[in-house]
């Protein structure tokens, strides 16, 4: 599969996931880009994500990172789920911050994958680092003949 | 500080946190119990937390676990934040499942703490396991003379 | 399989692993007990494991925990490997300390498992906590008809 | 402090650590390079590190990664210890493999740091990925006036 084809398959798989992805849509996430083994996703910190001091709940930062991870690890067009992840919180995110999560593959075996996600704010400051473990459960997200 | 006093301080600290905690309130979480080094929190999986197949986004499971962790690690009435956490996803959670996260201290040093959180469904099946690292940044959540 | 049979299989599988396990033997480890989903292993901190201040290298504490994990996750008599692990170092271990690592299963699916290991010193103080992820690659360690 | 000075301080701090580091010396490790926030360390897999099939115990891979991490996070010349780490095992290492661990800082706050370590074999294949959390406990490893 050429790089161009891989990117087209990744795009088609992501589109199929997104149609179905009420949770990410409800959080106002934006899928900025996707390619084989990587994905970028953005989210703006909203009123219902912060405490009284305007600090974003870490759970929403994780949710953004986990979403970018999901699109990256499904980009082979094989149904893949998160088995686990570690997140390190480096700086607080604040109300109205626009956060961007950039996921990329570290290692993809047949079934098991390891992916890194950096969550940065608009100034490029690192808010969190996430490392996720994926398991491919099989089956295609989209038919490749159709998608490419 | 006696066990009874510790529990009263933990309860007062939790009440002060909760008043301020728009994020947990907006997710319909319920703080079921809190004591020195532990906390139990519940949440029901809602429509906006699932994908088209009715499977809960892992980010919301993390958010519940992270919230129980926050109440447990602040139960000493010293302002404490999450530095990082690892979650293992064991079974999917589904639409309308009521999840309970039970957090308890594994080790609490002067500043650094390690806490375990089990997230179970109502049938008692384990949905996820979470281990969080906390850092105490100092300052009290409530005045103890008032709280006890 | 009854509990008694499970324990006998676990014991036979552990014996087969141990015969082959030059690394654990070379470190002077002792397999104290094994049962379905759990194992206890001990090691004394030796001169070549410490720095000039007599503090044990964290790598050896991890190695002990990882070894107990290996025996616990192979106790079903299905060849199983470590996919990853997280360790939290809670207190330093010192020269001549006898450390005991107690591993137990948290969740075992068909292929993926999560195991906890506590590493304590002789006084019962917790030195480290470890959580490991296993993957079963299949095949038996011992023939069950022979082993039981 | 200029980059050149930072490198000189890192080198002096590493030299002071190494003199004291019986554990790394006993494993035949080689400190290949060190600079502010990074370090490279090599180790050859020996007979006493493998099982009967010639596969290296994961504990030794962790120990190599943890050692590179230690030199990287102490490169500021402030005494710093490992608080915890996560390792993902990607491929087996074998008897006589020469492994290189490359550690680099991801984030260094006043006291808390996050470091990544890649462990590769000579062919450049990734054997393991490690992410460590450090805590700076204060005090200098070497007097800077002397060291620079």
Which chain D residues touch A114 with a CB distance below 8 Å?
Answer: 88, 90, 129
Contact in structure between D17 and D41 (CB atoms under 8 Å): no
Q: DSSP class of residue B48?
A: G
Q: Do D112 and B133 touch (CB under 8 A)?
A: no
For a pLDDT cut of 70, what percent of chain B falls above it? 95
Q: Do C57 and D48 touch (CB under 8 A)?
A: no
Query: Within the 93-122 window of chain B, which residues sit less than 8 Å (CB to CB) from chain D?
Result: 112
Where are any strands of DSSP class E within A1-142? 30-35, 38-44, 80-89, 98-108, 112-120, 126-136
Query: Residue C22: its pLDDT value, please?
Result: 94
Which chain A residues touch D88 with a CB distance below 8 Å?
Answer: 106-107, 114, 131, 133
Band of residue C2 on the pLDDT scale cut at 50, 70, 90: low
Q: Chains meeting C at 3+ CB pairs closer than 8 A? A: A, B, D
For the question of an ipTM over 0.85, the answer is yes
Q: Please give, rounded to a whole number of angstroms, the shortest distance from the CA of D95 to a CA of chain B.
A: 32
Q: Do C86 and A86 touch (CB under 8 A)?
A: yes
DSSP string for C27-60: TT-EEEEEETTEEEEEEE--GGGB-TTSBBPHHH
Query: Residue A148: its pLDDT value, please?
Result: 44
Contact in structure between C88 and D135 (CB atoms under 8 Å): no
The answer to whether residue C133 neighbours chain A at the CB level (below 8 Å) is yes
Name residue, tokens 């490169």.
D75
For a pLDDT cut of 90, what percent of chain C falls above it? 90
SS3 B77: coil
Q: Do B60 and A23 touch (CB under 8 A)?
A: yes
Report H helices in B58-116. 58-73
The answer to whether residue D19 neighbours chain C at the CB level (below 8 Å) is yes
Write the CA distances from B116 to A136, B8, B40, C21, C81, integer angstroms. 27, 22, 12, 32, 24
Q: Do B86 and C86 touch (CB under 8 A)?
A: yes
Partnered with residue A33 across adjacent β-strands are A40
Q: Count the Cβ atoms, other than its own, within 10 Å of residue A96.
A: 12
Query: Residue C147: its pLDDT value, please?
Result: 45
| Mean predicted confidence (pLDDT) in C118-141 | 96
Which chain B residues touch C126 with a CB distance below 8 Å?
Answer: 106-107
Q: Please give, rounded to a whole number of angstroms, the shortest distance from the CA of A136 to a CA of chain D.
A: 15
**Buried b vs exposed e over B117-143: b needs ≥16 C-beta within 10 Å?**
bbbbbeeeeebbbbbbbbbbeeeebbe
SS3 A138: coil
Question: Angle, nearest 10°, between helix axes C58-73 and C3-19?
Answer: 130
Query: Within the 25-84 window of chain C, which residues sit less than 8 Å (CB to CB) from chain D?
Result: 26, 47-53, 56-60, 62-64, 66-67, 81-84
- Tell me the pLDDT tens digit for each residue of D52-111: 889 999 999 999 999 999 999 999 999 999 999 999 999 999 999 999 999 999 999 999
Which chain B residues touch A85 with a CB distance below 8 Å?
Answer: 58, 86-87
Query: Residue B2: its pLDDT value, please?
Result: 65
CB pairs under 8 A between A and C: 10
C-alpha–C-alpha distance, residues B76 and B110, integer Å: 11
- Closest residue of chain A to D113, computed from CA coordinates: A90
- Closest residue of chain A to D132, computed from CA coordinates: A88
State the burial class of residue C138 (Cβ atoms within 10 Å of its Cβ: 0-12, 13-18, 19+): exposed
User: Best mutation site among C112, C114, C116, C136 for testing chain A: the one with the most A CBs within 10 Å?
Assistant: C112
Contact in structure between B56 and B50 (CB atoms under 8 Å): yes
Cα Rg for chain A, rounded, in angstroms? 15
Query: Residue C148: its pLDDT value, please?
Result: 44
User: Best mutation site among A131, A133, A134 for testing chain D: the one with the most D CBs within 10 Å?
Assistant: A131
Start-to-end CA span in chain D (Å): 11
Tell which residue, D105, D93, D106, D115, has the closest CA to residue D42. D93
C-alpha–C-alpha distance, residues A133 and A81, integer Å: 9
Q: Do C84 and A133 touch (CB under 8 A)?
A: yes
C-alpha–C-alpha distance, residues C25 and C61, integer Å: 15
Query: B143 CB contacts (<8 Å, ≥6 apart)?
Result: none
Give the nearest partner residue to C114 out of B109, B129, B133, using CB atoms: B129
Length of chain D: 148
Start-to-end CA span in chain C (Å): 11
Which chain B residues touch A19 with a CB distance below 8 Å?
Answer: 52
Query: D146 CB contacts (<8 Å, ≥6 apart)?
Result: D12
SS3 of chain B: helix, strand, coil, percent, to 5 = 30, 40, 30
- Tell me the pLDDT tens digit for each residue of D16-57: 999 999 999 999 999 999 999 999 999 999 999 998 889 999
Tell which residue, B102, B91, B105, B99, has the closest CA to residue B28. B99
Give the nearest partner residue to C89 out of D22, D84, D86, using CB atoms: D84
Query: Residue B145: its pLDDT value, please?
Result: 58
In chain C, what are the domain boundaries? 3-147
Write the CA distances from B121 to A112, B116, B126, C48, integer angstroms. 27, 17, 7, 47
C-alpha–C-alpha distance, residues C38 and C71, integer Å: 7
SS3 B14: helix
Q: Do C83 and A135 touch (CB under 8 A)?
A: no
Q: Chains meeting D at 3+ CB pairs closer than 8 A? A: A, B, C
Which chain A residues touch B67 with a CB distance below 8 Å?
Answer: 57, 59
Backbone angles phi, psi at B115, to 5 degrees: -130, 140
Q: Do A88 and D131 touch (CB under 8 A)?
A: yes
Give the nearest partner residue to D63 out of C22, C60, C67, using CB atoms: C60
- Tell me the pLDDT tens digit for each residue of A31-56: 999 999 999 999 999 999 998 889 99
| Mean predicted confidence (pLDDT) in B27-52 | 96
Q: DSSP class of residue C77?
A: S
DSSP string for D25-86: HHTT-EEEEEETTEEEEEEE--GGGB-TTSBBPHHHHHHHHHHHHHHHHTTTSS-EEEEEEE
Q: DSSP class of residue A79?
A: -
- Closest residue of chain D to A88, computed from CA coordinates: D114
Report the topology of domain C3-147. Thiol Ester Dehydrase; Chain A (3.10.129)
* The pairing of beta strand D30-35 with beta strand D38-44: antiparallel
Q: Please give, rounded to a whole number of angstroms, the shortest distance from the CA of A79 to a CA of chain C.
A: 17
Give the nearest partner residue to D106 out of A106, A107, A129, using CB atoms: A129
Band of residue B148 on the pLDDT scale cut at 50, 70, 90: very low
SS3 A23: helix
Name residue, tokens 């095992």.
D89
Tell which residue, A95, A41, A98, A32, has the closest CA to residue A69. A41
C-alpha–C-alpha distance, residues B46 and B26, integer Å: 12
SS3 C13: helix
C-alpha–C-alpha distance, residues D99 and A90, integer Å: 30
| Mean predicted confidence (pLDDT) in B47-70 | 96
Which chain C residues touch B109 with a CB distance below 8 Å?
Answer: 90
Query: Residue B147: its pLDDT value, please?
Result: 46
Backbone angles phi, psi at D141, to 5 degrees: -75, -40
Tell which residue, C137, C69, C59, C146, has the closest CA to residue C102. C69
Tell which residue, C73, C56, C57, C148, has the closest CA to residue C116. C73
Contact in structure between D129 and D117 (CB atoms under 8 Å): yes
- Tell me the pLDDT tens digit for each residue of B108-142: 999 999 999 999 999 999 999 999 999 999 899 99
Query: Residue C106: its pLDDT value, please?
Result: 98
């Amino acid at each position: 599969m050429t790089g161009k084809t891989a990117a087209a398959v990744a795009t088609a798989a992501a589109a199929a996931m997104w149609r179905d992805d009420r949770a990410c849509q409800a959080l106002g996430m934006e899928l900025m880009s996707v390619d084989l083994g990587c994905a970028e996703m953005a989210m703006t910190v909203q009123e219902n994500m912060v405490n009284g001091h305007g600090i974003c709940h870490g759970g929403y930062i994780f949710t953004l990172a986990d979403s970018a991870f999901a699109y990256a690890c499904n980009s082979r067009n094989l149904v893949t789920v998160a088995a686990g992840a570690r997140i390190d919180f480096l700086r607080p995110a604040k109300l109205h911050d626009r956060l961007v999560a950039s996921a990329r593959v570290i290692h993809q075996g047949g079934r098991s994958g390891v992916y890194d996600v950096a969550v940065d704010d608009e100034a490029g400051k690192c808010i969190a680092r996430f490392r996720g473990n994926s398991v491919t459960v099989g089956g295609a997200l989209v038919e490749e003949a159709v998608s490419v």
